[in-house]
């Protein structure tokens, strides 16, 4: 089986006056503990250590072909990331707070 190459994706973004940096944390993958998991992104303040946001995307739909069992790689855009960050803020993530990472499950219809 061919091994996928890890994408190295990251970018700076400003949301509601906060200068943030996001990066790909993990691709869609299979784990022995919980089966298939969707892609995750890490979002942090640019200016220093604050509370990290972890965006967990739902597992994308599988490819329609019978050649592979792997799911389609999700497309990542600034608009999709910004919308997810805004949803996480509405759910209680404060970029300037401290503490354990805030894990936000992105609703399936928002990507």
Q: Give the residue extent of every domain in the chain.
A: 10-110
43-86 confidence digits (pLDDT tens): 999 988 899 999 998 876 655 455 455 555 667 889 999 999 99
Give the whole-number percent of the chain exceeding pLDDT 70. 75
Question: What distance in Å separates the CA atoms of residue 81 and residue 12, rounded to the nearest whole number?
Answer: 11
Question: What distance in Å separates the CA atoms of residue 23 and residue 73, rounded to the nearest whole number?
Answer: 15
What region does 35 belong to: left with phi over 0, alpha with psi -120 to 50, or beta?
A: left
Residue that wins the pLDDT comparison between 85 and 110: 85
- The residue ranges of DSSP E strands in the chain, in sequence order, are 10-15, 18-26, 29-31, 35-37, 40-45, 53-56, 102-105
Query: Residue 28 — pLDDT band, cuts 50, 70, 90?
Result: confident
pLDDT at residue 5, as a whole number: 57
pTM of full prediction above 0.95: no
Q: Do the bridges between strand 102-105 and strand 53-56 make them parallel or antiparallel, or are there none, so unpaired? A: parallel
């Amino acid at each position: 089986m061919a091994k996928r190459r890890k994408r190295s994706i990251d970018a700076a973004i400003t949301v509601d006056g906060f200068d943030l940096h996001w990066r790909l944390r993990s691709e869609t993958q299979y784990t022995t503990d919980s089966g298939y998991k969707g892609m995750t992104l890490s979002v942090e303040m640019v200016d220093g250590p604050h509370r990290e946001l972890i965006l967990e995307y739902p597992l994308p739909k599988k490819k329609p072909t019978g050649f592979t069992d792997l799911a389609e790689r999700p497309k990542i855009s600034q608009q999709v990331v910004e919308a997810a960050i805004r949803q996480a803020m509405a759910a209680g993530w404060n970029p300037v707070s401290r503490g354990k990472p805030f894990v936000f499950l992105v609703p399936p219809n928002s990507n």
